Structure 1
Amino acid sequence: MYLFISGAEIFVILVIVVMLFGADKLPEIARGLGKGMRQIKDATNDIKREIKNSAEKHDIDIDIANNVKKEINKVKDNIGDFTDPVSKVKDNILDDITGPIKRNK
């Protein structure tokens, strides 16, 4: 499955393309699509390169997302250090409260 399209759907699309344009035009259409995809890829790579160069020129950290993820994970770990003892105390209190109730049943 490619691009959320099954093999049968791709086959139907190919049959329609052959019926509309003819078998002799398929290589030309494929070349045009290939050129278009290459131009899009080159344009996106150029944009990425310009952003990276501009960020380096102005001393901007381009790995902000990775740094934010690291900080979030540190905070999660620190919160876990605080909440684990509280959870244990809560569990002990609940056991003490529900213990006599369970014994009476």
Structure 2
Amino acid sequence: MFGGPWELVIVALIALLLFGKRLPEVARSVGKGLSEFKKGINDVQDEVNDATYS
């Protein structure tokens, strides 16, 4: 995804400049979104497994 560590550093600096004080809030929102997405994926997998093995 990234060509090297410097690209990752540059992306982190840009994020810091753009979000600044809101960075913890943005990170928390992203974490919650990913958590809900994973939960949704697991629910769908459970439904498919239940339908397949029932």
Q: Does TM, normalized by the shorter one, top 0.5?
A: yes
Q: Percent identity?
A: 32
Displacement of 1:30 after TM fit? 0.7
The two structures, once aligned, show a CA RMSD in angstroms of 1.1
Alignment partners' CA distance in 2, 1:7 and 1:42: 31
Partner of 1:40: 37
Higher relative helix content: 2
Unaligned runs of 5+ in 1: 58-105
**Bigger Cα Rg:** 1
Aligned with residue 19 of structure 1, among 17, 20, 28: 17
Aligned residues: 53
Displacement of 1:7 after TM fit? 2.3
Moved over 3 A (4+): none
Displacement of 1:21 after TM fit? 1.6
Partner of 1:7: 5
Displacement of 1:14 after TM fit? 1.1
Partner of 2:27: 30
